[in-house]
Structure 1
Amino acid sequence: MATYRPRVLIGNWKEDACLEEERLRDFMHKRERGELLIQKIDKLQDNLLKKIKLSVTKDGFVHFGDTVMLLNPDNKSSVENNPGECSRLTLAVNLDDISIHSAISLQAPCGVSATKSVEPMARNTFCILSVDGGAVDEPIRFGQNFCLGTTGGFSDQMLYLASDHKSFIRSAKKSYLQQVFLTDKLSYLTCWRATFLDPQLRLEYEGFPVPANSKIIITHCHTNRGLAVPGNFWVRSYFGKEYEVVCHTYLDSHRAEEDKNYWVIVTANPSNENGTMLDRPSPYPGETTKNEFHEET
């Protein structure tokens, strides 16, 4: 540790003065090129928090090429374990220290989490992509494979939602269940399919178009496990306290999926330019939609 400052002409004062000038030149050079850590964080935050306009569905179904949000609605276990917490959670990109320090863009593999924000932005909106040659604007059907790509706010980069069998070195950090992550490589690990909510009607609805803004089950094709938010495991992220997302099928006593596995593919509200269908009042208040499964049965 230096006893005197560089301006005191004692000891290795010349070397200290040159080192200080070199640090200043390096700082100015990085600032001009936007390579300072604070600049990287600001750029990354601006991209991830950028407002995104969701797609409007004209026929009530989900289509390839649509920009949507994935909402986990009314998780009872989350409300019971955390009174006063918001029960509606959306799937979102989660950053770690490596992604923040390494580059301006996202780094693969990247984590995902469930956030309480239901406002469409780059980090919680996804684009639905075809894996079997389906044309853009063609409806997705129950049992058909598709991919979920990040919008991310980056024009030259897209990451894909993926999962794989858990192992001793690869699992969710808190629940130790099957991990869900984002990768930059398309493979069978990035394939998902929509499953009808009522187990007794799944065979009848196989091949029918997937309705938007309705509860469904999203299943991972490779492991045949459902995308889920346990609700009682939360993680610290760059954006604060958020909930862990896993691939695990939670079954009740009737062998039907629990609300942890429920998902809603949210689209834009056609009557409000900046709104979503979550803000649109129900045409049948107080009634359950016909495609929702009653656990009481």
Structure 2
Amino acid sequence: MAHVRTYRTNVKIGNWNEDLLLEEDAKKDYLEKKERGELTAQKVDFLKQNILRPVNLSVTTDGRLRFGDVVMLVNMGGENRERSAVSINADMSSLVKVPSPGIQSPCGISAGRGLQPCTRTAFVITSVDGSPEGSTLLFEQNFALKTTSGFARGLYLTSDLQSFQKCAKKSRLQEVNLVDDTSFLSWWKIVHFDPQERLEYEAQPVPANVKVLIIHCKTNQALAVLGDQVLWTTYGKEYEVTAHTFLDSHKAEEDKNHWILCTSDPAGDGLVLINHPESLANNRELTQANRD
């Protein structure tokens, strides 16, 4: 007896009506989320569009840093890392839209290799001792570093003593992050990168665009970037930032702790650091000029 087909391929079997309804509900839910901008891809695009928005850094005509200046914190790299800048490490979980779009506290930081001045990389030198805006920042003087207002919410760069519950994710060293309230935990100070010259330059004006150390006041640990601790962020592969002083055999801080507070070129052509790299070689001369 020849084989007889009892059904065709378009015959509906099983819980076909339930599957159809579930598919329609999923499609409806997708369209509603898309209309509200709640899809993952839309959130990532919205975050990047706002946090990577260009920011104008301050221009210094006399080479000195002042309260209110908008700067970038740049490390020039080393043996196992590229040049990088302290950056807001915000992801979708950091994003809020009420009462206005922005990032929420606490928020992590990292060292990104992109050196474009933007909301993510710009920090404002803020007074904590009553010094008026526009006055000169001095070596060993306490100050705070704050993100820009608006989308970045004006959060403060903060650290505290390392503990089992609170430490950097990769290295387990002292954590550095961003919070929305200022306290002694968010106080920092600048010291000369050469230990033998620190006493000489104490209370002297801090020059822009030269190597310095950024010291956390409470713990006395120096801000550091770790090339061997890689973070995979929304913005790509970046380095972990911590507060920890790394000393070489001569009891001097390693280049992991060396930072440059970058300002904009007076000509409007970007960072002084990039357009005038010879400023690094002239660190001593520039600092001496500011003292005079």
Offset of residue 223 of structure 1? 0.8
Q: How does 1:208-247 map to 2 (within 5 A)?
A: 208-247=204-243
Q: Does the C-alpha gap of structure 1 residues 27 and 74 become closer, same or farther in structure 2, counting only changes over 3 Å?
A: closer
| Separation (CA, whole Å) in 1 of partners of 2:136 and 2:106 | 29
User: SS of the residue aligned with 1:231?
Assistant: strand
User: How high is the TM-score relative to the length of structure 1?
Assistant: 0.81
| Separation (CA, whole Å) in 2 of partners of 1:287 and 1:190 | 31
Q: 1:266 aligns to what?
A: 262
| Separation (CA, whole Å) in 2 of partners of 1:45 and 1:285 | 32
Q: How does 1:158-169 map to 2 (within 5 A)?
A: 158-169=154-165
Q: Structure 2 unaligned runs (5+)?
A: 1-11, 288-292
| Separation (CA, whole Å) in 2 of partners of 1:146 and 1:61 | 15
Moved more, 95-104 or 37-46: 95-104
Indicate conservation of the 8 Å contact 1:53/1:274, yes or no: no
Offset of residue 23 of structure 1? 5.2
Q: How does 1:166-205 map to 2 (within 5 A)?
A: 166-205=162-201
Aligned residues: 275
Q: Structure 1 unaligned runs (5+)?
A: 1-7, 79-84, 293-297
Offset of residue 280 of structure 1? 2.5
Moved more, 95-104 or 193-202: 95-104
Give the letter for the 1:235 counterpart.
L
Give the letter for the 2:107 counterpart.
C
Q: 1:39 aligns to what?
A: 42
Give the letter for the 1:236 counterpart.
W
Indicate conservation of the 8 Å contact 1:159/1:184, yes or no: yes
Matched, 1:134 2:137: no
Q: Max radius of gyration: which structure?
A: 2
Give the letter for the 1:222 counterpart.
K
Q: Note the alpha carbon deviations across 1:92-139, whole angstroms, 9 max, x for none.
A: 111345326998532321111111111212111111111122211111
| Separation (CA, whole Å) in 2 of partners of 1:249 and 1:133 | 28
Indicate conservation of the 8 Å contact 2:191/2:212, yes or no: yes
| Separation (CA, whole Å) in 2 of partners of 1:210 and 1:241 | 32
Q: Does the C-alpha gap of structure 1 residues 167 and 278 become closer, same or farther in structure 2, counting only changes over 3 Å?
A: same
The alignment yields a C-alpha RMSD, in angstroms, of 2.9
User: Identity over aligned residues, as a percent?
Assistant: 45
Q: Note the alpha carbon deviations across 1:133-176, whole angstroms, 9 max, x for none.
A: 22111111111111111127617x22111111111111112211
Indicate conservation of the 8 Å contact 1:41/1:100, yes or no: no
| Separation (CA, whole Å) in 2 of partners of 1:212 and 1:284 | 10
Matched, 1:112 2:115: no
Moved more, 190-199 or 219-228: 190-199
The partner residue of 2:271 within 260, 269, 276 is 276
Q: Does the C-alpha gap of structure 1 residues 246 and 291 become closer, same or farther in structure 2, counting only changes over 3 Å?
A: farther
User: SS of the residue aligned with 2:116?
Assistant: coil
